[in-house]
Amino acid sequence: MDQYADGHILSFWDCFGKKTEESKTWLLNILRKHGCKTVLDVACGPGTESEMLVEEGFTVLSSDASDVMITTAKKTRAARKEAIFSTWEIKLANWLTLPEDIQKPGEGFDAVICVGNSLPHLPFTDGPDRLQPYKVSLTNIISMVRPGGILIFDHRNFDCILETGKSMLNTVYRNTLTKRIELSIDYEKGVPQMIIMNYIFPPIGGQQQTRTFSIDFYPVLLNEFNQMLSTILGGTFQHSLYGDFKPYTPGDVHVKPGVFSHVVRV
């Protein structure tokens, strides 16, 4: 059972929460390179990226579909007494109804981010187009950015996971996990429908037993994701692809990044 939406992940936040300096530097550089000032974080979780962006002077609206995550982010905001944190907005919102849940400022935000491998939480449909929830969500997320603004998406390298049956334990986002991941893949008619990752962490506080955390992902391959962007946006956008924060060329068999990041300028 996926233990993210119910907030169980927060009891493991010592393992997941602190991001690497590389991830922070990359995100800030991209936003500043494109002159962004207003940011919509549509997968804020407990507010890790959003809090950092507010600290760095961005005007941030954070949203998540989990009540638990929104409550946690609001507690984080309340604990920050600096005046700049009074500008941080936090709202409950669902990607599938985003234009109704969030009122965009003017023509839209300078940047919209959806990071932390968040999109693959979306379940596939049972109909003829299993990617329909992705397409609706991406369309709604894209609608929130202003003309000339940017979108930042990321997701794990599911191509490699499905090819090898293994997942990187440590990624560029979080590199201090110290035990292992037990992986299982559910197929239907030869098509991967779900990847279940059971994280096994060392015991803490004198306990004898290891800690476990389970999370489900619905894997979209890199070419599928790229094709969805092309279909939704047409030919009028710029797309830069990164693998572990370094420029990446699709099909490069010599590089197997743990995380793909997409920077899209519309």
Specify whether 187 is catalytic. Answer: no
Distance from C-alpha of 6 to C-alpha of 214, rounded to nearest angstrom: 12
- Set 47, 77, 108, 121: catalytic member: 121
Specify whether 121 is catalytic. Answer: yes
Specify whether 149 is catalytic. Answer: no
- Set 134, 173, 199, 248: catalytic member: 173
Sign of CA dihedral 150, 68, 20, 87: positive
- Set 156, 242, 243, 248: catalytic member: 156
- Set 45, 108, 116, 258: catalytic member: 116
Q: Which one-letter amino acid corresponds to residue 135?
A: K
- Set 4, 134, 199, 242: catalytic member: 4
Specify whether 173 is catalytic. Answer: yes
Residues involved in catalysis: 4, 116, 121, 156, 173
